[in-house]
């Protein structure tokens, strides 16, 4: 149902009637924040409170209804995509709690415009901000939502080639990243961790404090934010990884595993094990990454997981294709600052830095206009 600015007036109610009915929001379904103005006429609440009813369903929208009035309201509101239930006020229900955090993982890039539009409408953003949310690593979408909302978002995004990750906030563990060539931030992070009794670990080019509990992560992050330090705190449940195989025997068991588990053509499997390292899986959850690493090891191979939160990429563009449209896509996906001085040379390097989602989306669009490109890790 389109929201044209009209509001619903409160229906007749059965005041004091113990046999009255309530209208329950079971799930946000396919609705979004455009529903909030419609709900203003049903109860005296702020827009934030009305949005909370949707995101933290199940929740009571209105009670004291006659059965007829409730049924009429249900029929009208269900046209917006929200999932509702009319029940007697004497019947108990378990209210939802806003104890989940949600992020997105783009797996296919043929419907990115629809993904960005859905994200903008869901949380009330402009298109440019929604694009930044979708392309971030991890792509944090929304927090303080219920399990019913998590399930609804998974159903909503799945047809668009996007997986939805969730984390139970009270049980979450966190990793802290900071670029080690930023001495000011590095020293501050080390000081805060020492004060908290946590020893930092140095991996690659970043200082990492791993497996922090929620309260400690919040205290450190609040202090870093207050000092405008350049760092990133990532919920471990929302990590995404690439799985890189460094060693793989050309055994029948390994080849069968690659074919059956990853739908890899047999000839491709025979070739890749002879040319390690190779990326076996992209943008997979931390749990799935762990499972793959264990399976590879059991087959006599060796593999590692690359945390996408701490990696950035560039692109090397080859000759051919529509260079004018390439310029349009580079600016659309990465911004005007990502444009090179010229795209006319046979080989052009786009240094980025791009997130993995940005880089893969740009590669997809460039390929569609005949422009070859190669991913380059920074």
The pLDDT of residue 181 is 67
Predicted confidence band of residue 200 (pLDDT cuts 50, 70, 90):
low
Is the pLDDT assigned to residue 11 strictly greater than 60? no
The pLDDT of residue 317 is 94
Mean pLDDT in residue range 235-263: 96
CA-closest candidate to residue 234, choices 183, 177, 272: 177
Is the pLDDT assigned to residue 333 strictly greater than 90? yes
pLDDT tens string 117-141: 999 999 999 999 999 999 999 999 9
Say which DSSP state 12 is in.
P
Mean pLDDT in residue range 53-57: 95
Mean pLDDT in residue range 333-357: 90
The pLDDT of residue 238 is 96
Mean pLDDT in residue range 220-227: 86
The pLDDT of residue 201 is 61
The pLDDT of residue 19 is 46
Q: pLDDT over 70 for what percent of the chain?
A: 91
What is the phi/psi pair of residue 265, to 5°?
A: -55, 145
Cα–Cα dist 71/331, whole Å: 50
Helix or strand or coil: residue 279? strand
What is the per-residue DSSP string for 348-376? EEEEEEE-HHHHHHHHHHHHHTT--EEEE
Burial class (CB in 10 A: 0-12, 13-18, 19+), 3: middle
Predicted confidence band of residue 4 (pLDDT cuts 50, 70, 90):
very low
Q: pLDDT over 90 for what percent of the chain?
A: 74
Tell me if the bond preceding 277 is cis, omega within 30° of 0: yes
Is the pLDDT assigned to residue 205 strictly greater than 70? no
Is the pLDDT assigned to residue 163 strictly greater than 90? yes
For the chain, list the domains and their CATH numbers. Answer: 21-88 (3.30.1390.10), 100-170 (3.30.1390.10), 173-237 (3.30.70), 240-310 (3.30.1390.10), 313-377 (3.30.1390)
The pLDDT of residue 315 is 96
Is the pLDDT assigned to residue 228 strictly greater than 80? no
R_g of the chain computed on alpha carbons: 25
The pLDDT of residue 119 is 97
Predicted confidence band of residue 178 (pLDDT cuts 50, 70, 90):
confident
Is the pLDDT assigned to residue 248 strictly greater than 80? yes
Mean pLDDT in residue range 174-186: 77
Predicted confidence band of residue 230 (pLDDT cuts 50, 70, 90):
confident
The pLDDT of residue 224 is 85
The pLDDT of residue 14 is 40
pLDDT tens string 82-102: 999 999 999 999 999 999 999
Is the pLDDT assigned to residue 347 strictly greater than 90? no
Sequence-distant (6+) residues with CB within 8 A of 328 are none
Mean pLDDT in residue range 160-165: 98
């Amino acid at each position: 149902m389109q929201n044209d600015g009209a509001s619903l007036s409160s229906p007749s109610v059965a005041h004091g009637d113990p046999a009255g009915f309530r209208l329950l929001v079971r799930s946000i379904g396919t609705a979004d924040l455009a529903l909030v103005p419609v709900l203003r006429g049903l109860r005296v609440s702020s827009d934030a409170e009305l949005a909370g009813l949707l995101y933290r369903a199940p929740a009571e929208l209105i009670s004291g209804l006659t059965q007829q009035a409730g049924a009429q309201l249900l029929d009208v509101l269900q046209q917006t995509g929200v999932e509702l239930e009319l029940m007697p006020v004497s019947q108990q229900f378990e209210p939802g709690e806003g104890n989940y955090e949600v992020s997105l993982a783009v797996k296919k890039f043929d419907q990115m415009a629809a993904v960005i539009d859905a994200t903008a409408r869901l949380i009330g953003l402009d298109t440019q901000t929604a694009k930044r949310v979708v392309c971030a690593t991890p792509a944090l979408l929304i927090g303080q939502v219920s399990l019913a909302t998590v399930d609804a978002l998974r159903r909503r995004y799945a047809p668009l080639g996007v997986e939805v990750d969730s984390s139970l906030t009270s049980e979450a563990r966190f990793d802290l990243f900071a670029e080690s060539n930023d001495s000011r931030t590095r020293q501050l992070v080390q000081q805060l961790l020492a004060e908290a009794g946590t020893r930092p670990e140095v991996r690659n080019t970043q200082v990492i404090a791993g497996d922090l509990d929620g309260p400690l992560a919040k205290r450190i992050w609040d202090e870093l934010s207050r000092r405008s330090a350049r760092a990133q705190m990532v919920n471990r449940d929302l990590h995404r990884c690439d799985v890189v195989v460094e060693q793989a025997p050309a055994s029948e068991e390994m080849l069968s595993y690659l074919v059956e588990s990853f739908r890899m053509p047999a000839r491709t499997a025979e070739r890749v094990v002879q040319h390690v390292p190779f990326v076996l899986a992209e943008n997979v959850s931390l749990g799935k990454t762990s499972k793959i690493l264990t399976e590879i090891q059991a087959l006599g191979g060796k593999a590692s997981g690359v945390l996408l939160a701490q990696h950035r990429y560039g692109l090397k563009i080859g000759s051919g294709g529509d260079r004018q449209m390439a310029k349009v896509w580079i600016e659309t996906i990465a911004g005007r600052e990502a444009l090179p001085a010229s795209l006319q040379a046979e080989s052009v390097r786009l240094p980025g830095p791009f997130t993995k989602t940005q880089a893969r989306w740009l590669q997809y669009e460039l390929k569609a206009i005949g422009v070859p490109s190669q991913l380059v890790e920074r």
